Amino acid sequence: MIETILELRGLTTSFRTRQGRVRAIDGISFSVPRGGAVGIVGESGSGKSVTALSILRLLPEPAGRIDAGEILFEGRNLVPLPERDMQAVRGSAIGMIFQEPMTSLNPVFRIGDQIAESITLHQGGHQGGHQSGGRAAAHARAIELLRLVGIADPEQRVADFPHQLSGGMRQRVMIAIAIACNPRLLIADEPTTALDVTIQAQVLELLLDLRCRLGIAMLLITHDLGVIAEQVDDVVVMYAGRVVEQADVATLFRAPGHPYTAALLQAMPRMERRTRRLDQIPGAVPSPAAFPAGCRFHPRCPEARAICTTHQPPDFSLAPGHVAACWKHSGYVAR
């Protein structure tokens, strides 16, 4: 039995909008094994980033709130946790990396101080011992972390301000902050989307290397199926606020169970081979204020039937570890 580090059970998050309360995610369930790598893939509006923000309890309250469900981190439900306890979880037990490294770093502080801040904030009291020795230790640790994430001349760089660094280097600094307190889980939301492809390759290589060396579990959120294929063991496919399919990465690409996953793979231009014409998915991703009834993919689905327009499909279990929420699998056992 593989130990689970994170488990979501029926997580539902809504936002207050002009159209009333709108559910951005609706009954999300999946789990991340300890030391494993799980990817969430989805298009804009699928709810993948809201899922990450909900886990970290970083929703813009009171507009955004968790309505239902549980977030079990190492067996403990994070949803009812007071903000004080949540602060201890964020950064120390769960590290996070966001898409835009320029806006995630404070422009008026030296990067060394920003790394040290996260160390003293989370470990100052109990791990470093004395407060005075804590500062110097945190500074030394900042240099060590910069070296770990592959920044040359860390002794000099530690005194740089964010604007003195390139986009790739800033993302390395963000990773250094994220792993500063030895988290057991890293949540990375589109960590390479803002980067050029040769720099993306460097950062992905670094993430893979750190995970292997430090044994950190990772929840990687991306729209890029190429990044998914190369970085994770298991994949959660989201569409319009719901999980439509879950599978190990090889199965997902070889035998996708949900028509949306299949269509997404077909619609992608490939670098390995040239196709005459791309398959296209008709229509557009629906907005959370106007999610269709029944299966939310049905208006765009080539295989939609009458039941799809009225009833939400349950998760059908196609094989161990492979579930798809699609009525065409109604011969299988529903989870």
**Contact with another protein (CB under 8 A) among 102, 268, 299, 332:** 268
Helices (runs of H) and strands (runs of E) counted in the chain: 12, 13
What's at 154, amino acid-wise?
Answer: P
Site for another protein contains 168 (CB under 8 A): yes
Note whether 294 and 253 are within 8 A (CB): no
Q: Let me know the angle formed at the C-alpha of 40 by 215 and 325, rounded to the nearest 5 degrees.
A: 125
Rounded CA gap, 55 and 7, in Å? Answer: 10
Q: Let me know the angle formed at the C-alpha of 22 by 20 and 27, rounded to the nearest 5 degrees.
A: 150
Q: Which of residues 7-66 bind another protein (CB under 8 A)?
A: 43-44
For residue 12, give the 3-state DSSP assignment.
strand
Range in contact with another protein (rule: CB under 8 A) among 25-33, 51-59, 76-84, 260-268: 260-268
Give strand ranges (E) for the chain: 4-17, 20-33, 37-41, 64-73, 76-77, 94-97, 185-189, 217-222, 234-239, 242-248, 316-319, 322-324, 333-334
Q: Least Å distance between CB 228 and another protein?
A: 7
Q: Which of residues 281-300 bind another protein (CB under 8 A)?
A: 281-282, 284-285, 300
Site for another protein contains 326 (CB under 8 A): no
Site for another protein contains 226 (CB under 8 A): yes
**Contact with another protein (CB under 8 A) among 57, 224, 291, 292:** 224
Q: Which of residues 174-213 bind another protein (CB under 8 A)?
A: 196-202, 204-205
**Contact with another protein (CB under 8 A) among 280, 290, 320, 331:** 280
Which residues contact another protein (rule: CB under 8 A)? 43-44, 166, 168-169, 196-202, 204-205, 223-230, 249-250, 253, 263-265, 267-272, 274-275, 277-282, 284-285, 300
